[in-house]
Structure 1
Amino acid sequence: MASEWPEDGFGDWIGHKTRSVETIRPDLARRFAVTVSDQDSQFRTGDPAPIGIHWCIDPPVFTSDRLGPDGHPKKGEFLPAIPLPLRMWAGGALTFFHDLRVGETVERTSTIESIDRKTGRSGELCFVNVRHDYATDRGAAISELQNIVYREPSHGAAAPSIPDLPAPDSLRHADPVLLFRYSALTFNGHRIHYDYPYATSVEGYADLVVHGPLQATLLMMLARERLGGLTSFHYRGVSALTCNQDFTLHAQKGADGLELSVADAKGVVTMTATARDNSAPGQRAASEFRPGI
């Protein structure tokens, strides 16, 4: 495996960019809202779009011959050909400058910012950070830093601990229909979300896997409800949330903002997040905000 790494560690991929443009249609907003909130809302041009819909905007499209065995685009398309077999969306950080609106045209510019090779308890890892900037005619809308991790298969992982959590704010259920709908909205072909034999036999999960961005969207919805607004959101996946079980959303006030988490039916935390609303008078200018980890 080590011989497959180039001498520069894929340094020539840093700065690699891609751009895409799409208009947020009322029907997309409706399908997204009914998927994440289970409420059938009608949207008209000019209405605020649901939070989290940016992950559905003009997803990359590849013909089947350009897909890898896991359903992702083959390595070496936009992302480098990291010589590790498994890829996960590990977390990220978002800064919100203004709401996206139905009927607006949104341009996304994606840039590879860093590639770091490390060794952890589970073996060799590679972290790829991608910056996504979303803009409309009204200016910068969202700035996102996405953390992607490539890893080797894990064997005999220790059982995760079960922490004390505040009372749940919301109870949801993960079923295959929810995962199918979200995969369709985001044009996500990763087989762990819909192919049970692949998810369990190849990647070693207990069941189909709930998307990280879906969990993050539910936490952002909760954060906005609790805070009254949302200007920054940092999240990290800590354990796989698998299908066919209830899961809970939790929020409590913390030293650095609203602390949030997702927990599975056993109480195992699958995602943590911190949210802030700095939209009060006297906030810093939007240009001063940059997502961090």
Structure 2
Amino acid sequence: MASITCTRSLRAVRCLPHPRLTRSQSTTPFASLQTSLPARPPQLIHDLASPVPSWKLHRILTGFVPPSWLPPTHSDTPIPTDPTPLPLPPAHHLVYFNPTIPENSLLPDGTDPSQSPGGPFVRRMWAGGDVTWLNRGALDLAANTPAVCVERIKDVAIKGKEGDEKVFVGIERRMGPVAGWEAEQRGDAVAGGWEQCVERRNIVFMRERATEEIEKLRAAVRNGEVVKGKVVKAAHAATISHALTPSPALLFRFSALTFNAHAIHLDPGYCREVEGHRGLLVHGPLALTLVVTMIEARMRETGGTIKSIEYRNLAPLYAGEEMRVCGRDAGNGRWDVWVEGPEGGMSLKGTVMTE
């Protein structure tokens, strides 16, 4: 994977307007998180615009998605080295700009401490987010040239009653060529801004499960019982869909490609004994990649371009269980997208805007 360096200090950065999380007027002891977390310094995450991570992402999806969803260049051709401009497919930014935090600096569950509110909120899940592509649906970078992601905590919301709070952390990531960002830092005008992709990630942090709750969940796993949550079904039938069963190997390879050591994707024992899940959880970004890849394939057929996606994760998906990636043309460039779990309920729900 391309080398990445991360620094924590930079001069004031211009921030694009984005929808904010609704702030709860919390009076809990944790209300200060709404100011202390956004006050953390932004991070600069450098990367090289190598075509290799994108090519590897196509390779690990091979066999899980229809061949028509992947471009012909993904196949058994040599790793591309052509130094021409490199338009990364939508969602492929997810395999770039990932901090290479040393293992001894990770939290016990393998996650990034820079985004965490700290104890007692020791569990985290990817709640959703949005992505806007500002350059015709791609990061269009010359191959092997320096690129940068400016990441910051934009806002924080605390929800739930006292003693059962959840902390929602909104993370903004702006990505583009280093030269454009440096020009902005010098005060030079950059027409339209230097960013080619702006992403918001909503991460929810939760308390450790109560002893009684975790024991009940462990017993259910031991007995082969499926603890069913609320099943929310799509309002309309899909016009595009594809079923697949993610394997533990797929989750491992996606974790490796995104430099993600979160134990819920890698350690079945941790999932069962600590989190109370029946198996390895599918990454939120992997589900996002699948729905975007589906719509991208349709855009190749029609000559269209993906402009943005907004989505929410509603329920977990597990390795070894069938999931179905679905889409529906809602007209006027809008696509409704969702992912169904084995019970037919939506695990992810979103809207893709195209042109």
Q: Is the partner of 1:231 in helix, strand or coil?
A: strand
TM-superposed deviation, 1:71:
1.1
Indicate conservation of the 8 Å contact 1:33/1:50, yes or no. no
TM-superposed deviation, 1:209:
0.5
Which residue of 2 is the match for residue 11 of structure 1? 35
Q: What CA deviation, in whole Å up to 9, does each residue of 1:40-82 have, x standing for no partner?
A: 3653333422322212213112222212221113x4x354325
| TM-score between both structures, scaled by the size of structure 1 | 0.84
Indicate conservation of the 8 Å contact 1:93/1:233, yes or no. yes
- 1:55 is aligned, of 94, 98, 101, to 94
- 2:54 is aligned, of 4, 12, 29, to 29
Q: Is the partner of 1:220 in helix, strand or coil?
A: helix
Structure 2 residue 231 is the aligned partner of structure 1 residue 161: yes
Residues 1-293 of structure 1: matches in 2 within 5 Å?
A: 5=29, 8-16=32-40, 17-38=42-63, 39-40=74-75, 42-43=79-80, 44-45=82-83, 46-73=85-112, 75=113, 77-81=114-118, 83-98=120-135, 99-100=138-139, 101=141, 102-119=143-160, 123-136=164-177, 137=179, 139-152=194-207, 153=209, 155=213, 159-161=229-231, 163-164=233-234, 165-166=237-238, 169-227=241-299, 228-254=304-330, 257-278=334-355
Where does the alignment leave 5 or more consecutive residues of structure 1 unmatched? 279-293
TM-superposed deviation, 1:180:
0.5
Structure 1 stretches of 4+ with a deviation exceeding 6 A read none
Q: What CA deviation, in whole Å up to 9, does each residue of 1:22-42 have, x standing for no partner?
A: 112232222111123445365
Query: Which has the larger share of strand?
Result: 1
- Would the alpha carbon gap of residues 4 and 59 (structure 1) be closer, same or farther in structure 2, given more than 3 Å must change? farther
Q: Is the partner of 1:31 in helix, strand or coil?
A: helix
Q: How many residues align?
A: 275
TM-superposed deviation, 1:186:
0.6
- Would the alpha carbon gap of residues 53 and 193 (structure 1) be closer, same or farther in structure 2, given more than 3 Å must change? same
Task: Name the CA distance, whole Å, in 2 between partners of 1:226 and 1:140.
Answer: 26
- Would the alpha carbon gap of residues 86 and 62 (structure 1) be closer, same or farther in structure 2, given more than 3 Å must change? same
TM-superposed deviation, 1:9:
2.9
Q: Which moved more, 1:258-267 or 1:60-69?
A: 60-69
Indicate conservation of the 8 Å contact 2:166/2:206, yes or no. yes
Q: What CA deviation, in whole Å up to 9, does each residue of 1:140-190 have, x standing for no partner?
A: 210111101012338487632252542652222200110000000011010
Structure of higher CA gyration radius: 2
Which residue of 2 is the match for residue 288 of structure 1? none
Task: Name the CA distance, whole Å, in 2 between partners of 1:238 and 1:94.
Answer: 18
Indicate conservation of the 8 Å contact 2:252/2:265, yes or no. yes
Which residue of 2 is the match for residue 282 of structure 1? none
Letter in 2 for 1:144: E
- Would the alpha carbon gap of residues 79 and 241 (structure 1) be closer, same or farther in structure 2, given more than 3 Å must change? same
Task: Name the CA distance, whole Å, in 2 between partners of 1:49 and 1:87.
Answer: 29
| TM-score between both structures, scaled by the size of structure 2 | 0.70
Task: Name the CA distance, whole Å, in 1 between partners of 2:247 and 2:163.
Answer: 29
Where does the alignment leave 5 or more consecutive residues of structure 2 unmatched? 1-25, 64-73, 181-193, 218-226
Q: Is the partner of 1:216 in helix, strand or coil?
A: helix
Task: Name the CA distance, whole Å, in 1 between partners of 2:242 and 2:337.
Answer: 12
Q: Which moved more, 1:141-150 or 1:61-70?
A: 61-70
